[in-house]
Amino acid sequence: MMFENSFSSNNINHVSPTVTLYEERRPSSDRLFQKALNSMKTIFKSDFLPKKSKFAHGNSKKGGKSSVRESIEYSQPCSNSKTVNQQTSINASPASVLKNIVQIRPEGYLVGRFGRPVRSLGSGADGSVDMHIDASGNKYAIKTFKSIKISSNATSLGDVIDNRTANEILINSRIDHPNVVRALACFVELGSNSVHLVMEYCERDLFSLVMDLSDSSSGDNSFLLNRLFYQLISTIQFLHNTARIAHRDIKLDNVLIDSENNVKLADFGCSVVLNGSTVTGLCGSDPYIGPEVFVQGLQYDPTKVDIWSLAVVYLAMVSGRFPWEISQSRDKNFNYFCSSPVKFIDFWLESTQTFIPDSAKDLILSMLSLDPSARPSIDEVTAHPFFQYLDATYGQ
């Protein structure tokens, strides 16, 4: 579906600077700035985690990922990927295929095995995420979902976990990639109303990294930022082509950074398994959502929404600002973009300290096509000269 450019022409030099990432940059009394911050934090999914308290998963020591996995006592921390793929390929509800993934543990197992929560990493309508440190000093991010209470003789998880929660657990458990947060274990406690998903822990995310870089006088950070963007694109290529998953909530907050400045993509609460069908429904965070998602009842390609979100992430990474609060005509900046995309992107990127090659501008413009069918697929993104340059520079 083509989104017609029905917006009036405006002076591109008046692009609003208020959609900034950083609260400390502007006074709290600035109404427009507060509106931008509130919009940034608005999300249309029940398990949203705020920017200062998101999935932070990973190990801070080199080589720590394997040692953390070995410290988990399960023979299979979550599930065999082949088993999950085979099960989810049939017409079964997500909750009905969790028996190979979710274990039933005695009451008190969470605290006994992983320790009490040290601090909250975030909360939402369907659960919360906390950091735990076990007796050996290993750190974990544990997401606790809400569910009905189960009895001591429970044999079926299908009556315990709703399909939305089950879908997130299944998707998390089937992915094995170095740039995706690893799910280590999942269990329910007898007598509890909670399902616990244990994940690796990282200290920071891309949001805080970009904020720190913007606040410093380090100058051109293009090497680091381009490397991270290269890893993120490569990760989405794996998800789309190999895992057959669309993320649908790509944003700075969900791109975690490990101790070696590598990407760890997190939060699969909005994700869908790709089966050739389109989807409907509003999901994601305002500044990153493709415009087609806001059309009520419209069937859209979730992979093309990921492509749009990747482009917005890049603009925010290199500029320290969101290009718009929301991709709808009522947003002044988005209106400017629709009126003159090339001028808008040029204006936006020329104000950064990061070196932006022309090939990057060309790729980002194509990824931000208002018509989803005109956006490149992830394979077309990786075939673009800008990505080829990134691959030659940062590829292994």
In this structure, what CATH number is given to the domain that contains residue 128?
3.30.200.20
Check whether residue 114 and residue 255 sit in a common domain. Answer: no
Check whether residue 171 and residue 320 sit in a common domain. Answer: no
- State both tokens at 43: 């999300």
- Rounded CA-CA distance 268/270 in Å is 5
3-state SS class at 77: coil
Check whether residue 252 and residue 109 sit in a common domain. Answer: no
Return the higher-pLDDT residue of 324 and 8: 324
Check whether residue 194 and residue 260 sit in a common domain. Answer: no
Q: Which domain holds residue 94?
A: 64-199
Q: Where are the extended beta strands (E) located within the chain?
A: 103-105, 117-124, 127-133, 139-146, 183-189, 194-199, 204-205, 245-246, 255-257, 263-265, 272-273
Decide which of 174, 199, 224 is a domain's last residue. Answer: 199
What CATH number does residue 370 fall under?
1.10.510.10
pLDDT higher than 70, residue 41: no
Tens of pLDDT, residues 143-200: 998 765 555 555 556 556 777 788 888 888 889 999 999 999 999 888 777 889 999 9
Return the higher-pLDDT residue of 49 and 225: 225
pLDDT at 233: 99
Decide which of 180, 199, 218 is a domain's last residue. Answer: 199
Query: Quick check: is 282 in a domain?
Result: yes
Tens of pLDDT, residues 81-117: 333 333 333 345 666 667 678 888 999 999 999 999 9
249 noted as active-site residue: yes
pLDDT at 94: 60
Check whether residue 195 and residue 337 sit in a common domain. Answer: no
Of 249, 267, 286, 331, the active-site residue reads 249
Check whether residue 91 and residue 211 sit in a common domain. Answer: no
Measuring CA to CA, which residue among 157, 164, 98 is closest to residue 126? Answer: 164
Check whether residue 285 and residue 382 sit in a common domain. Answer: yes
Mean pLDDT throughout 64-91? 33
Query: Quick check: is 5 in a domain?
Result: no
Tens of pLDDT, residues 252-294: 999 999 989 999 999 898 999 999 889 999 999 999 999 999 9
Return the higher-pLDDT residue of 335 and 66: 335
